Amino acid sequence: MFAVLIIAIIAVGYIVSTRIHPLRACPACSSSGRHFGGVYKNAHRRCRRCAGSGRKDRVGTKVFWGGTNNTGIFPKK
Ligand SMILES: [Zn+2]
Protein backbone atom coordinates (compact mmCIF):
# COMPACT_ATOMS: atom_id res chain seq x y z
CA MET A 1 0.00 0.00 0.00
CA PHE A 2 2.82 2.38 0.85
CA ALA A 3 4.50 1.72 -2.50
CA VAL A 4 1.25 2.52 -4.30
CA LEU A 5 1.11 5.86 -2.48
CA ILE A 6 4.69 6.70 -3.52
CA ILE A 7 3.93 5.83 -7.15
CA ALA A 8 0.77 7.97 -7.03
CA ILE A 9 2.74 10.97 -5.70
CA ILE A 10 5.39 10.56 -8.41
CA ALA A 11 2.70 10.24 -11.09
CA VAL A 12 0.90 13.41 -9.94
CA GLY A 13 4.25 15.20 -9.76
CA TYR A 14 5.00 14.19 -13.33
CA ILE A 15 1.59 15.36 -14.60
CA VAL A 16 2.04 18.74 -12.86
CA SER A 17 5.58 18.93 -14.26
CA THR A 18 4.35 18.44 -17.84
CA ARG A 19 1.90 21.32 -17.32
CA ILE A 20 4.59 23.68 -16.01
CA HIS A 21 7.34 22.52 -18.38
CA PRO A 22 5.58 21.11 -21.45
CA LEU A 23 8.61 20.98 -23.72
CA ARG A 24 11.82 19.04 -24.00
CA ALA A 25 14.89 19.57 -26.13
CA CYS A 26 14.50 18.33 -29.68
CA PRO A 27 16.39 15.00 -29.85
CA ALA A 28 17.58 15.62 -33.42
CA CYS A 29 19.21 19.03 -32.93
CA SER A 30 19.44 19.24 -29.10
CA SER A 31 17.32 22.41 -29.08
CA SER A 32 19.46 24.41 -31.52
CA GLY A 33 16.83 24.15 -34.28
CA ARG A 34 19.55 23.72 -36.86
CA HIS A 35 20.92 20.78 -38.78
CA PHE A 36 24.50 21.30 -39.96
CA GLY A 37 26.08 19.84 -43.07
CA GLY A 38 28.81 17.24 -42.90
CA VAL A 39 31.23 18.89 -45.36
CA TYR A 40 30.52 22.62 -45.15
CA LYS A 41 30.50 23.09 -41.40
CA ASN A 42 28.74 26.44 -41.34
CA ALA A 43 26.01 25.38 -43.75
CA HIS A 44 22.80 24.47 -42.04
CA ARG A 45 19.07 24.20 -42.52
CA ARG A 46 16.14 24.19 -40.20
CA CYS A 47 15.80 21.01 -38.21
CA ARG A 48 13.06 18.87 -39.71
CA ARG A 49 12.02 17.21 -36.46
CA CYS A 50 11.07 20.48 -34.77
CA ALA A 51 10.77 22.80 -37.82
CA GLY A 52 13.65 24.93 -36.52
CA SER A 53 12.01 25.77 -33.21
CA GLY A 54 14.16 23.41 -31.12
CA ARG A 55 11.05 22.58 -29.12
CA LYS A 56 9.30 19.26 -28.77
CA ASP A 57 6.31 18.33 -26.63
CA ARG A 58 7.10 15.89 -23.84
CA VAL A 59 5.29 12.56 -24.04
CA GLY A 60 3.26 13.43 -20.93
CA THR A 61 2.26 16.78 -22.45
CA LYS A 62 0.55 14.98 -25.30
CA VAL A 63 -0.94 12.25 -23.13
CA PHE A 64 -2.34 14.39 -20.31
CA TRP A 65 -2.88 17.81 -21.92
CA GLY A 66 -3.37 17.03 -25.60
CA GLY A 67 -0.05 18.57 -26.61
CA THR A 68 0.93 22.16 -27.42
CA ASN A 69 1.85 21.49 -31.05
CA ASN A 70 5.52 21.96 -30.07
CA THR A 71 4.96 25.61 -29.14
CA GLY A 72 4.92 25.31 -25.36
CA ILE A 73 1.64 27.26 -25.26
CA PHE A 74 -1.45 25.34 -24.29
CA PRO A 75 -4.39 26.04 -26.61
CA LYS A 76 -7.30 27.83 -24.98
CA LYS A 77 -10.42 25.74 -24.64
ZN1 LIG B 1 15.20 19.87 -33.89
* C-alpha 31 – ligand 1 centre gap (Å): 6
Q: What integer pLDDT is reported at residue 52 of this predicted model? A: 93
* C-alpha 19 – ligand 1 centre gap (Å): 21
Q: What integer pLDDT is reported at residue 15 of this predicted model? A: 97
* C-alpha 8 – ligand 1 centre gap (Å): 33
Cα separation values, 49 from 14, 36, 44, 72, 75, Å: 24, 14, 14, 15, 21
Q: What integer pLDDT is reported at residue 55 of this predicted model? A: 95
* C-alpha 70 – ligand 1 centre gap (Å): 11
* C-alpha 3 – ligand 1 centre gap (Å): 38
Positive or negative CA dihedral for 15, 17, 21, 27? negative
Domains in the chain: boundaries: 15-65
Q: What integer pLDDT is reported at residue 1 of this predicted model? A: 87
Q: What is the pLDDT along the chain (77 residues), one digit of tens a residue?
A: 899 999 999 999 999 999 999 999 999 999 999 999 999 999 999 999 999 999 999 999 999 999 999 999 998 87
